C-alpha cells in the first residue's frame, strides 16, 4: 500500500468511529479489505485501542474547535447541537486541501443546510458559508438571501439561549473592488 493510501486509511481510522470499531474487532478482515499487508495490519493493530480512541477524540476536538472559530454565529444558534452535528458530519468528511479547517467549516455549512434543524440555524450556516466563500475563496462578489436578520441574533449566555428574531427576508452582499471590500444588507 502506498503512503497516501496508508495516510487515508489512518485518517479514516481516526475520524470514523464505526470503521475504527470494525478494525479493532476484526483487524485482519478489515485490513485485507483495505489492501493492507499482513505487516501493516499488525503494526496498526498493535496500537492500543485506548490510544487509538484517545488520539481520534483529540483530533475530533481540534476540528470542532476550529470549526467553532470559523462559524461563531452558527455555533451560537445551534448551542449544544453544534458538536453533535459536527461529529455526525465529520464521520463522513475528511478535508483534503492544505486549508483543512476552512474546508471543514465550508463543508459543514453545506451539511447543515441539508439537516432537519431550525430555520434560524440554516440561515446562520448559509450566511457564514457565503462569508467564508467571499473571504476564503477571494471571490469578487457574493450575494446571500437570508430568512432572518442575522445582525439581530443575540449572543447566547450559559443559561440563556440566543435571541432569534422573527423571520424577515434580507440580502447580505459582499463586494470586492480592487483592495477595497464592502459588505452591506438590503
- What does the pLDDT read at residue 132? 96
Give this prediction's pTM: 0.74
135, three cell numbers: 473571504
* Distance between CA atoms of residues 60 and 104, nearest Å: 11
- What does the pLDDT read at residue 155? 63
Please, what are the averages of pLDDT over each run of 10 residues along the chain (186 residues)?
74 81 89 87 80 82 94 92 94 84 96 94 95 94 93 66 82 94 94
- What does the pLDDT read at residue 175? 96
- What does the pLDDT read at residue 72? 93
Judgement on whether residues 86 and 100 belong to the same structural domain of the protein: yes
- What does the pLDDT read at residue 104? 94
Compute the Cα dihedral for 44, 46, 51, 52 and give only its sign: positive
- What does the pLDDT read at residue 157? 58
- What does the pLDDT read at residue 3? 74
- What does the pLDDT read at residue 158? 54
* Distance between CA atoms of residues 118 and 105, nearest Å: 19
Closest listed residue to residue 16, CA positions, set 3, 34, 1: 34
State the DSSP H helix or E strand holding residue 177, giving kind and residue range, or none if neither: strand 170-177
Judgement on whether residues 42 and 64 belong to the same structural domain of the protein: no
Judgement on whether residues 52 and 40 belong to the same structural domain of the protein: no
Phi, psi for 79 (deg, rounded to 5): 60, -130
Q: What's the number of domains the chain is made of?
A: 2
Judgement on whether residues 136 and 74 belong to the same structural domain of the protein: yes
Domain that holds residue 23: 1-47
The answer to whether 124 and 150 are in contact (CB under 8 A) is: yes
- What does the pLDDT read at residue 18? 84
Amino acid at each position: 500500500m502506498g503512503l497516501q493510501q496508508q495516510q487515508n486509511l489512518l485518517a479514516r481510522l481516526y475520524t470514523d468511529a464505526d470503521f475504527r470499531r470494525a478494525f479493532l474487532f476484526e483487524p485482519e478482515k478489515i485490513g485485507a479489505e483495505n489492501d493492507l499487508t499482513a505487516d501493516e495490519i499488525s503494526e496498526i493493530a498493535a496500537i492500543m485501542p485506548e490510544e487509538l480512541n484517545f488520539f481520534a477524540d483529540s483530533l475530533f476536538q481540534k476540528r470542532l474547535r476550529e470549526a467553532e472559530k470559523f462559524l461563531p454565529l452558527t455555533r451560537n444558534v445551534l448551542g449544544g447541537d453544534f458538536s453533535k452535528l459536527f461529529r455526525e458530519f465529520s464521520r463522513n468528511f475528511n478535508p483534503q486541501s492544505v486549508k483543512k479547517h476552512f474546508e471543514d467549516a465550508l463543508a459543514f455549512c453545506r451539511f447543515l443546510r441539508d439537516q432537519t434543524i431550525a430555520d434560524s440555524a440554516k440561515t446562520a450556516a448559509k450566511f457564514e458559508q457565503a462569508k467564508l466563500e467571499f473571504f476564503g475563496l477571494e471571490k469578487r462578489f457574493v450575494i446571500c438571501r437570508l430568512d432572518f436578520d442575522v445582525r439581530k441574533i443575540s449572543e447566547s449566555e450559559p443559561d440563556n439561549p440566543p435571541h432569534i428574531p422573527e423571520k424577515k427576508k434580507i440580502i447580505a452582499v459582499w463586494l470586492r473592488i480592487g483592495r477595497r471590500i464592502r459588505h452591506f444588507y438590503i
